[in-house]
Structure 1
Amino acid sequence: MNIAYLVNRYPTVSHTFVRREILGIEAAGHRVHRFSIRAAPDDLPDPADRAEREKTAVILTKAVPLLLGAAGLVLRRPGGAWAAWRASKAMTPPTARGFVARVAYLAEACSLSSAMHRADVRHLHAHFGTNPAAVARMAHLISGIPYSFTVHGPDEFDEPRQLDLAGKIADAKFTVAISDYGRSQLCRWVDTAHWPRIVVVRCGVDLAAIDAAQADAEPGFDFCCIARLAPQKGLPILLDALTLLGERGVRPRVALVGDGPLRDELERGIAARGLGGQVALLGSKGGAAVAAQLRASRAMVLPSFAEGLPVVIMESLAVGTPVVTTAVAGIPELVDDGCGWVVPAGSVEALADAMAEALSADADRRAAMGAEGRRRVAHDHDAGRNAALLLKYMEAA
């Protein structure tokens, strides 16, 4: 079966789970055509992502050919194009900016439809219920090719009506949530008749690849935090917790791996709190370097305000490193006191207390927590097994 995958920007360092899923489907003997609305970044640190970039077709390139191609398809398929245009109105705001977005979505959907027909694609799957699901839905209405999409959160849960999640779910053959919590949030916005077509397929990791990864860690750090430097990750709370620990005479060192829009603000916050000797912003790293940093840490800390279910938690537990994190979204489905410390989101004191406990935990306790975490990941978050489950839904569709 020829399958198409659509992501807003692919590959990127934060979308390794998509790569694992695609490779799992291809390992089962199917062909996957990768489509990205926008071009991938040039500075991909992971060789596997650089290889994926070479296999991925970018939809949003030159505007004039894109619009001319869309106009031709609209003339050939006016009924489908009109249905897609009507659907786009519910997925964008009734403003001038929303009108521009609708035109862009239609052009992208036409380009994707043409490419899928040339490749004899039988099913289209999109990751994220935002722009990719909008374009996938419109491409389905134009081409007749069935589609599905995976919702991760938290963005989709913040604006379900503006994104017309209900309409996307109604038109899809099935919709994927990555946790039971995520499924419950999707069920909130649709008629109960659609609930059976909302399924849970968890994100996964490749344990063998993680075990085989070889890289050197930056030495001398007690904790690592692997996160996009974005507001939803709650990283200023981590700085406040380190300040509070310092007032108690405890000064752990934290390696912060990742990049994003809050980098400058975090640098200022580190300087203002006098944490320059404790927190290092290491930037984005490839998968092997991330695994090495996790192994070298007493615990991985992630003080998120909002999430889906972070893959980095799975990666940390896969290498046997317990986690300090927050009780939001799907995280408690994987993490409890058996493999980490779960604290209320936004609580500086609770985060500091948990980090202090992680520092004081002896090697036997941390090893036991890490072993339990790895067992859970192997049971519920194996990339190959979960890709096979998703494939079953695609084949049924």
Structure 2
Amino acid sequence: MRVAYLVNRYPAVSHSFIRREIAGVEMAGVDVARFSIRPPDASLPDAADRAELPRTTVILAQSKAALLMAALCMAVTRTGRFVRALSAAVKMAQGRPKIALRHLIYLVEACWLAGKLKGVDRLHAHFGTNPAAVARLVHILSGIPYSFTVHGPEEFDAPGALDLPAKIADAAQVVAISDFGRSQLMRWAKPAMWDKLHVVRCGIDEGFAAAPAAPPVADARLCCVARLSAQKGLPLLIDAAARLRDRGVPFHLTLVGDGEMRAEIERAIADRDLGGIVAITGYLDAAGVRSHMLASRAMVLPSFAEGLPVVIMEALALRVPVVTTAIAGVPELVDTACGWVVPAGSIEALCDAMELALAADPARLREMGEVGRARVLARHDARANGAAMADLFRQ
């Protein structure tokens, strides 16, 4: 069997879980072609991500002439299918002129991609946003079945604007990464379609799963591994850090990651005189992330919106408890047995949980970490979950 994967941007620092899924699918005996709509991240710290570059075909790296010629050829040689795809693209825009133009671009991308899928039995997109839209149009143009994985929160923030019901209706299968995610898909799918909604959880890197137990951390260190973006709640974390400092609690907090809010977060650190307490590393490879997690008493992630963050799985796999928020799929993995779960948006609750993590006995931290590790290894094995995806493709 041959499957084509379609992602908006691949490889990417924040999409390493897709790389692991593809590897698991290939280990299950499925041949996988990789397509990215946009060029990959300019900086890829992880060698495993860089190794994906020559294996990935980028749609928008093609010349405009090649893309337009593909659309023209499709219109001439498969006129009926092209008209149906054009109609679907316009309907997905729901009468919004700017969005309609964007969907016409998706149609051009789909025409080019449809011409490159000879011998492909299934097209699978990650994310229910533009990759799923392009995959749906490819299906209409070529007849190749498509499926897609929904992660959240973007798809759940605007399911109507993304025309999620139509994407679900036309798909062979739709995958969620958590039970919560599947429940949200059920809201936008007719009950007769619920049997096509599946849960396949993200898998962790083998380096986290195979890491030996480290000595309990005695130092008052915390880390946060996250993209520096609005949904991660990082300004709240800086406020909580300032409040914790004002309580007289000694600690150090390292933010591992980068993103569009970095300058704003750096200003917040400076404004609160936290320069000696809070540091930002930028993006690191998997080994660097593991190093910071293993040097911390807990990993903190105060997100406002998520699917089910892979960094939580990674921390728990390393036997590091987590401080996080009671949102989306997080409570499916984290409870008081392996971490501290606080209401999203509460500085006071976040500060209290960080203080508890810093004060906890190392033996208690290890006990919590062992509980979390057992859960992650049982639910988030990349090879097993890749095999589950392969089984879905073969249905």
Tell me which interval the TM-score lies in, with the shorter structure as reference length. over 0.9
- Asked whether 1:64 is paired with 2:65, we answer yes
| 1: CA distance, partners of 2:103 / 2:362 | 56
Tell me the residue number matched to 1:53: 53
Q: Which residue of 2 aligns with 1:193?
A: 192
2:159 matched residue in structure 1: 160
In structure 1, the residue corresponding to 2:244 is in which secondary structure? helix
Paired amino acid for 2:34: R
* Cα distance in 2 for residues equivalent to 1:164 and 1:99: 13
1:390 aligns with 2:389: yes
Query: Is residue 112 of structure 1 aligned with residue 113 of structure 2?
Result: yes
SS in 2 for 1:335: coil
CA RMSD of aligned residues (A): 1.5
Amino acid at match of 1:142: L
Whole-Å separation in 1 of the counterparts to 2:382 and 2:225: 20
- Match of 2:180, SS? helix
1:191: Cα distance to partner? 1.0
Q: Letter of the aligned partner of 1:81 in structure 2?
A: F
Structure 1 contact 206–384 (Cα < 8 Å) conserved: no
Report the identity percentage: 56
CA distance in 2, matches of 1:208, 1:27: 18
Single out whichever of 138-147 and 66-75 deviates more from structure 2: 66-75
- SS in structure 1 opposite 2:307? coil
CA drift at 1:112? 1.1
Corresponding position of 2:215: none
C-alpha separation in 2, matches of 1:264 and 1:352: 23
Distance 1:48 1:379 in 2: 24
CA distance in 2, matches of 1:221, 1:153: 33
Q: Residue 34 of structure 2: SS of its match in structure 1?
A: strand
Q: Could you tell me which residue of structure 2 aligns to residue 102 of structure 1?
A: 103
Q: Which amino acid aligns with 2:49?
A: D
Q: Name 2:176's counterpart in structure 1.
A: 177
Displacement, 1:210? 4.8
Deviation at 1:43, TM superposition (A): 1.2
Shift of 1:179: 0.6
1:23-77 Cα offsets, whole Å, 9 max, x none, are 0111122210000000102211000000011100000122222111221122111
Query: Residues 207, 51 of structure 1: CA spacing in aligned structure 2 closer, same or farther, 3 A cutoff?
Result: closer
Q: CA deviation at 1:246?
A: 1.5
Q: CA deviation at 1:212?
A: 5.7
Shift of 1:178: 0.6
The amino acid of 2:122's aligned partner reads H
Give 1:163 shift.
Answer: 0.4
1:217 is matched with which residue?
none
Supply the distance in 2 between the matched residues of 1:81 and 1:323 (Cα, whole angstroms): 50
TM-score using structure 1 length: 0.95
Q: Which residue of 2 aligns with 1:254?
A: 253
Count of residues paired in the alignment: 389
Question: CA contact under 8 A between 2:165 and 2:189: conserved in structure 1?
Answer: yes
Separation in 2, partners of 1:233, 1:146: 35
State the shift of 1:206 in Å. 3.3
Q: Which deviates further from its counterpart, 169-178 or 60-69?
A: 60-69
Contact kept in structure 2, 1:207 and 1:378, CA below 8 Å? no
Aligned residue in 1 for 2:227: 228
Per the alignment, in what secondary structure is the counterpart of residue 394 of structure 1? helix
The CA distance in 2 between the partners of 1:212 and 1:377, in whole Å, is 13
Counterparts of 1:1-397 in structure 2, within 5 Å, are 1-61=1-61, 62-117=63-118, 120-207=119-206, 210-211=209-210, 222-396=221-395
Give SS of 1:115's match. coil
User: Which sections of structure 2, spanning at least 5 residues, go unmatched?
Assistant: 213-218
Letter in 1 for 2:109: E
Aligned partners of 1:318, 1:263: CA distance in 2, in Å? 28
Q: State the alpha-carbon separation in 1 of the partners of residues 183 and 95 from structure 2.
A: 29
Work out the CA distance in 2 between the residues paired with 1:209 and 1:377: 10
Q: In structure 1, how many angstroms separate the alpha carbons of the residues matched to 2:191 and 2:121? A: 28
| CA deviation vs aligned residue, 1:276-322 (integer Å, no higher than 9, x gap) | 11111110011111111111111000000000000010011111111
CA distance in 1, matches of 2:362, 2:168: 47
Question: Do the aligned partners of residues 28 and 277 (structure 1) sit closer, same or farther apart at CA in structure 2, a change above 3 Å counting?
Answer: same
Q: Quick one: which amino acid aligns to residue 72 of structure 1?
A: C
Report the Cα distance in structure 2 between the residues aligned to 1:276 and 1:206, rounded to whole angstroms: 32
Alpha-carbon separation, structure 1, partners of 2:146 and 2:96: 28
Inter-partner Cα distance in structure 1 for 2:76 and 2:220: 61
The answer on whether the counterparts of 1:90 and 1:162 sit within 8 Å (CA) in structure 2 is: no
SS of 2:210 mapped into structure 1: helix
Question: AA paired with 2:41?
Answer: P
Normalising to structure 2: TM-score of the pair? 0.96
The residue identity in structure 2 corresponding to 1:203 is C
**Cα separation, 2, equivalents of 1:91 and 1:345:** 33
What SS is found at the alignment partner of 1:124? strand
Partner residue in 1 for 2:216: none
Deviation at 1:358, TM superposition (A): 0.3
